[in-house]
Amino acid sequence: MSRKDPQGPSKGVSSTVLPANKLVVDGVSKWFRTPRTTVHALDNISIEVSAGEVICIVGPSGCGKSTLLDIIAGLTKPDTGRVLADGELVIEPGRQRLMVFQEPSLFPWLDVFGNVMFGLNLCPELTRAERVETAHRFIALIGLENFEHAHVHELSGGMKQRVALARALAPDPQVLLMDEPFGALDAMTREHLYDDVQRIWHDSGKTIVFVTHNMREAACLGDRVLLMSSSPGRIVQAFDIPLSRPRSIYDAELVGYAARIADALRGRTGGGVPE
């Protein structure tokens, strides 16, 4: 698959934002109004992500991480602020920003192959043969070539998340949004997936926003880790993780970074570390 030039092409209006910023979140706030209360979910969030960068967002449960990803994806509208992708205002979901969701999102009426084909079928620039070939290639990439025609309910939790990853990667999005994709998996499966994910990312060079509530996961996967606090959701601190890749979750330096993030969070919340 041909990698798109990270500098463009930005279709449409030229903008004042530097093109090197693949993704710009600019002063985004969000309130949820229910009949009983109003939740201030996000407060003036600003993030800049450059092309090919991996950003991890960590924070306690309920601090607004999913809401932020939804807004970046274009599934939810912010109350204030805006999101720019390639300098263009995000007003609706688009296949340049694909998402791996927190909850199971594979279509049960399709098998593994059908699920991976779903996004490819919406790529008018590909021929039928190219779509099929791409689907096979991504299913092989996640190591499920023997499960192409398995139904969703026949897969383990880890396999489902791999398929969700392949489904999001196959249409070659420029930005990948991942919302606690491994949150529901056991530690062993998760660690195995870190290796896979780092290998796939390295090969594809995608811009990635990865949400987690696990400090070590964040330190392992991110070039940069943003720490969020809750009520209202704010970005309180940023950490650069200048470690070489591939990284091991047991690497002493990496654990050191994770501890520093955890300390920062503890300082904010005064409680234990959510894990």
Partner 1 sequence: MRRFIAASIFFLGLLTLWQAGAESGRWSPVLFPSPWSVGAYLWDALLDGTLLEAIWVTLKRLLVGYTVGAMIGLPLGLLASSSQTLEDTLGALALGLQTLPSVCWVPLALLWFGQTEGAMLFVVVMGTVWSVIIATDHGARTIPPIYARAARTMGSRGLHLWTMVMLPASLPFLVSGMKQGWAFAWRSLMAAEIFVTILTGFGLGQLLHYGRELNAMDQVIGAMAVIVLIGLLADRVLFSPWERFMHRRWGTNIG
Interface with partner 1 by CB under 8 A: which residues?
A: 73-75, 92-95, 97-99, 101, 103-105, 107-110, 118-119, 122, 151-154, 167, 171
Name, in order, each residue with C-beta under 8 angstroms of 274's C-beta and a sequence gap of 6 or more.
60, 61, 213, 265
- The nearer residue to ligand ADP, 32 or 118, going by C-beta atoms, is 32
Residues in region 38-77 near Mg ion by CB under 5 A: 66
Q: How far is the CB of 234 from ligand ADP (least distance, A)?
A: 12
Closer by beta carbon to Mg ion, 50 or else 102: 102
Q: 208, 26, 175, 168: which is closest to 86 by C-alpha?
A: 175
- The closest of 23, 11, 18, 13 to 174, measured between CA atoms, is 23
263: Cα within 13 Å, side-chain hemisphere: 7
Q: 31 contacts which partner out of ligand ADP, Mg ion, partner 1, none, CB within 5 to 8 A by kind?
A: none
Q: Which does 75 bind (CB under 5 to 8 A by kind): ligand ADP, partner 1, Mg ion, none?
A: partner 1
Binding site partner of 39, from partner 1, Mg ion, ligand ADP, none, Cβ cut-off 5-8 A by kind = ligand ADP
* Interface with ligand ADP (CB under 6 A): 32, 34, 39, 41, 59, 61-67
Q: Give least dist CB 142 to partner 1, A.
A: 17
CB 178 → partner 1: shortest distance, Å?
12
Q: Using the minimum distance from each CB to partner 1, give the nearer residue, 43 or 86.
A: 86
Tokens of 204: 């594809």
Q: At what angle do helices 128-141 and 112-120 cross, to 10 degrees?
A: 130
Q: What's the helix, strand, coil split of the chain in %, to 5? A: 35, 25, 40
Smallest gap from Cβ 223 to Mg ion, in A, equals 22
Per-residue burial over 245-273, b = 16 or more CB atoms within 10 Å of its CB, e = otherwise = eebebebeebbebbeebbebbeebeeeeb
Cβ neighbors of 129 (< 8 A, separation 6 or more) are: none
155 binds, among ligand ADP, Mg ion, partner 1, none (CB under 5 to 8 A by kind): none
